[in-house]
Amino acid sequence: MAAFLVLLSLLFVWSLVSARLTRWSITAPLAFAVAGAALTSGDHPALTIDMDTHTFQMSVELVLAVMLFTDATETRGYERLGTSVGEGRLLGLALPGSVLLAVLFGALLFPGTNGWLLAVAALVVMPMDLAPLSAFLRDERVPLRVRAALNIEGGFNDGLVSPFFVFCVSNLVTAEGNSYADLVVNAVEGAGYAVLAGGALGVLGAWLVRWCLGAGWATSAGLRMASLALPFLAYAASVQIGGNGFVAAFVAGLCYGRTAHALGPDSLGLLHDVGHLMAVAVWFTFGALMAEVFSRGVDLAVVGYALLALTVARMVPVLAALTGTRFDRAERAAVGWFGSRGVTSIVFAVLAFSQLADDDADFVVDVTCATILLSVVLHGATTEPIARWFARRPQPVE
């Protein structure tokens, strides 16, 4: 209860001074991460967070479910471009290439490490989270197709990664009686059930919302609660029948997205507010993880891995995938550079921490904290200069 009280107090104070602090490049993720580190570190911390409890793990999983649903609904809205923004290449070529490069770099920097553990680490640190770049995505100085490519990629990549993450973690924690074939079958079944549950609820929810609005049974403002309930329903229904709750929430968001945007910008307002509240709690948890990592020291190989994950492993596949598209060199570089990391990686890391053995869990948490911390610093420091650079050059036709 003390942690809950402190978090709400911090949220209240932040809401009072956020405009001023944002001008100083102090964002909500940075502020809550620092607060988490300060309040949970030391021999006698003001707060303690027990990440091994079932309630905590369930809360973290629900955060990711809401994020996946929200991201899926936000992949629409760029119809005025009238053409692809390279999303197929980014998701089908660049994303797998980035994960494979991260695994390769892990094998080079951490020789002898279990391959499944390297895969888990890569799947944790490579998905994007665009929340720290929200101002950049709204900045009219940046070409629309750059913002669209980042937004669509960020909306899909965590949903595509999540079943592979679950599968790789299962290979590390599986009992001896479960063969590799058993795990593959379980993963496919879980994804199949999830698609059925998420698709059914997304389609049914969209139809009911449209029908009730047309019949005058509800208003657009009143249906915000329905939008909030859907990701939780999809997650719970999928888990109940043995499916992957993350995939179900993502698929439900895809099915509900067109209806949500047809209702107007306010239809997802409540969901965004709740998602923001849950996200700052995750950033507070990241601060606690970061304090623990720093207390035991950070290996140079971990820092090197984080730098490679943010630069080479991200940019090379993106630049290669977008070659031959309408993006010019500067735009390809911007898409490749702004692969910021955040809540998705934190949630995956917390889930891995709660399920893996101590040494394996520490390894995943170490590389995650280093990657996210460097991302917050490097991406946060370069958004404004790059936006100004785009503003000074002739704007291409979208």
Task: Look up residue 75 and give its amino acid.
Answer: T
DSSP 126: S
We find that the CATH architecture of domain 27-392 is Up-down Bundle (1.20)
Q: What is the DSSP string of 238-249?
A: HHHTT--HHHHH
Q: Is the pLDDT of residue 11 over 90?
A: no
Question: For 50-69, what is the HEC assignment?
Answer: CCCCHHHHHHHHHHHHHHHH
Angle of CA points 91, 116, 151, to nearest 5° = 20
The model's confidence at residue 176, banded by pLDDT at 50, 70 and 90, is very low
Q: How many CB atoms lie within 10 A of CB 232?
A: 16
Give the Å distances, CA to CA, from 4 to 11, 14, 49, 139, 280: 11, 15, 11, 34, 12
- Report pLDDT digits (tens) over 298-329: 889 999 999 999 999 999 999 999 998 888 88
pLDDT at residue number 204: 92
- Report pLDDT digits (tens) over 214-270: 888 887 777 888 888 899 999 999 888 888 888 888 889 888 877 777 777 677 788
Q: What is the DSSP string of 60-112?
A: HHHHHHHHHHHHHHTT---GGG-S--SHHHIIIIIHHHHHHHHHHHHHHHSTT
Domain boundaries, the chain: 27-392
DSSP 211: H
The Cα 144–Cα 393 span in angstroms is 14
Q: Which of 11-25, 159-173, 200-214, 286-300 has the lowest mean pLDDT?
A: 11-25
Q: What is the DSSP string of 227-278?
A: HHHHHHHHHHHHHHTT--HHHHHHHHHHHHHHHHHHT-GGGGHHHHHHHHHH
pLDDT at residue number 396: 54
Q: What is the DSSP string of 343-378?
A: HHHHHHHHHHHHHS-HHHHHHHHHHHHHHHHHHHHH
pLDDT at residue number 301: 94
